[in-house]
Amino acid sequence: MLLQKAYKYHRSCLSSEHREVYELIRTCIESFGDKVSCKPLKHDTVLVVFEAITKDNADYYYVDSIRTWQDALGNVVAIEPVYSMERREIEYYKNSTILCLSKYSGLLTLSDYDKVMAVHNELVNTVRYDDSFRQSSYSIVGIVQNRSAVCEGISKYFKLVMDFLGVKSLVANGTALTPTSCGKEGENHAWNMVCIDDKWYHIDVTFDLTLKCKQIRYDYYLISDEEIFKDHNSMDRLPRTTAERMDYYYSHHLAVYNKRELVNLVIDGLAKRNKSFQFKLMNVRNGLDPSGTVSQIIAECLEKSCFYGASFSMNYNKSLWVFDVEIEQERSVRE
């Protein structure tokens, strides 16, 4: 195991009896062991425990699944981890992972909030979502080897770094709609929760990195249950978030509650010759699409600020109403 102090949230959700099974399997994996006997267990119980192990221990990248043996009554009486790598390959990726983690050593003296921000930004800027869905992309190996992964690999890597930095975090599994989706069917998805000052928040690095254009996106950065469950659905029992707001747009005064605030934000930005804007519309009623109104307001602000004939592009998150606006033409002052 790379990190002796990895935070094991999903283990804490198990009964004392199931924790014994957790430790039995974990010890076997740690020693690269084979089949171990256990007292009779329901097959579903073994699967639940094994899933908790894989979510808590991101560095078990070499464990593919488990094999079970059953008695005449159908109870599991022996368990064997199925390894996807040989020892030599495991050691190679272990050393590569240690090297990756050492690059975060400079963050150890920061506050937990700043640690989370720094890691979020680094991953959003440097990791690519793997549309080819290679097997390695479902574990930390995808990022360690190629800086490319799917949501499962990204969330596990984020937890691994948080464990290294001493920040409590967990991997959450469920389904989600993509931020630009018009559909109603969610796809299997994984994201994280982090604990800052004893308060839990959701963070979805995968969604933020896939949304990124020219600027880093923070749509899913330290948000509440109310916000995340607008387009996510959890299959896990998760800690409840606090009522205290920590999301990026609110804490950076980019949360817009009415037309006047939006006009002021855009006019002030144009006066500073900003070519891009991000903001979050608050209190948008269900069923409404304010994007047309926002586009009109921005066009009026451009004209008011003497950006005559200027064009702009705009993309937005249909679940959380975060807007990313880019001014695409140099300033042109009317004679």
- In the chain the first and final C-alpha atoms are separated, in Å, by 69
**Rounded mean pLDDT of 94-123?**
96
- Where do the domains of the chain lie, and which CATH numbers do they carry? 9-83 (3.30.1370), 87-242 (3.10.620.30), 253-327 (3.30.110)
Whether 335 shows a pLDDT value over 50: the answer reads: no
- Indicate the DSSP class of residue 313: E
Q: How confident is the model at residue 186 (pLDDT cuts 50, 70, 90)?
A: confident
- Indicate the DSSP class of residue 232: E
CA atoms within 13 A on the CB side of 263: 11
Q: Quick one: angle between helices 291-304 and 259-271, nearest 10? A: 40
- Indicate the DSSP class of residue 62: T
CA geometry: angle at 180 spanning 178 and 185, to 5°? 45
Buried b (16+ CB within 10 A) or exposed e, 231-242: bbebebebbebe
| d(C-alpha 139, C-alpha 331), whole Å | 47
| d(C-alpha 140, C-alpha 24), whole Å | 24
At 218-262, the pLDDT tens digits run 999 999 999 999 999 999 999 999 877 889 999 999 999 999 999
Counting runs of H as helices and runs of E as strands, what totals does the chain give? 12, 14
At 145-184, the pLDDT tens digits run 999 999 999 999 999 999 999 999 999 999 998 765 555 6
Pairing, β 148-149 against β 128-129 = parallel
